[in-house]
Copies of this chain bind each other. A is one copy, B any other.
Amino acid sequence: MSQVRAAIVGATGYGGAETIRLLLAHPHVAITSVVSSSNAGASIAEGFPHLNGILTDKLDAVDVDLLKEKADVVFLATPHGISSELSPKLLDAGLKVIDISGDFRLKNGEDYEQWYKHKPADPAYIDKAVYGLSEVFGDDVKGTDFVSNPGCYPTATALGLAPLAAHRWIDPKSIIVDAKSGVSGAGRGLSLTVHYSEMNENFLAYKVNKHQHTPEIEQTISRLAGEEAVITFTTHLVPMTRGILSTIYVNLKEARSEDEIFALFRSYYEGRRFVRILEKGKFPATKQVLGSNYCDIGLSLDSRTGRLTVISVIDNVVKGAAGQAIQNLNLMMGWDEGTGLAFSPVYP
């Protein structure tokens, strides 16, 4: 099989760097362009010394013609507001696009404007974008040219809720999501919040009731449940580099046993290698998915309160970004979804 040629725009951020790491191990993909708006001309390895001797290409400037010439598929790992301009041009140029940014995730432009404080993309292209939550909407991804890759928190959270929502077992107004992320989720930009001496030995909440991933989660749950979901969503920073753990509280519409719930989850994710349902009484730690594309889920039904607690972990940079993007590439191309991703987590 000839190699698919991939370009990564935003190659000097963490999402871009992880896309590079994973594509380097992909048997059917060749990286043919790494693109950065700010460092064009410099070697990618200057800013990322781990790539010395592995990938030392010069960074290209953002240039649609050049991308058209060099690549078949473009991964966008860019800040908000870039992809909304760039993706339509790339699509019009006949390229496949996998957008890791948030610009095409929300179908409702007003929601985007309200939560991202930014002008939404052209509605025609928003309509085209397939929301790539691979295990849930993977059938839509097959054969498309344009994937909007889910956010990190929405991936962990929606995978923890999808079986329940799709079978309408839960009250979609009762959902409370308490999510915790490693610091890489805040990106490579400089700020006092991500200063080592400030964040080390520290745990904090941020953007309480204001995180832009809120409507993304609500959109997915509403779509699956067939009724409007309104969630409470709190995000926290954990003094570690990688990993998200989402603790989700829901009320069931009617009484179910824990066994029924486990059976539902196992059946819903049957045949999907990257979602692992733990045994009853076990709960996942972020470390058990570190560096990998897995999402591990634990469940506990509390007989005292009747509430169900779902605990879901991912590596935010892999399953929450670059890994799922490549999983979506696999689906787009008709390859096995695990191609290039079927490696073990790094432990310890």
Contact = CB atoms under 8 A, between A and B. Distances in A.
Interface string A146-184: 000000000000000000000000000100101010111
A197 to B, nearest CB: 4
Contact of A199 (B14, B21, B196, B288): B196
Interface string A1-40: 0000000000000100100110011000000000000000
B242 A21 contact: no
Contacts of A203: 180, 182, 238, 240, 243, 245, 285-286
Nearest to A206: B283
Contact of A20 (B186, B206, B238, B344): B344
Identical chains in the assembly: 4
A50 B232 contact: no
Residue of A24, A200, A292 most packed against chain B (CB within 10 A):
A200
Interface of A: 14, 17, 20-21, 24-25, 48-55, 173, 176, 178, 180, 182-184, 186, 188, 190-192, 194-206, 208-209, 230-232, 234, 236, 238-243, 245, 247, 249, 273, 276, 278, 282-292, 294, 296, 298, 300, 302, 304-305, 307, 309, 311, 343-348
18 contacts: A21-B343, A21-B346, A25-B343, A50-B344, A50-B347, A54-B344, A178-B178, A178-B234, A182-B203, A183-B197, A194-B197, A197-B348, A200-B201, A203-B245, A204-B245, A204-B286, A208-B283, A236-B245
Given A204-B245, A234-B309, 10 more contacts: A21-B346, A49-B284, A52-B296, A53-B276, A186-B197, A198-B348, A200-B201, A201-B290, A203-B243, A204-B284
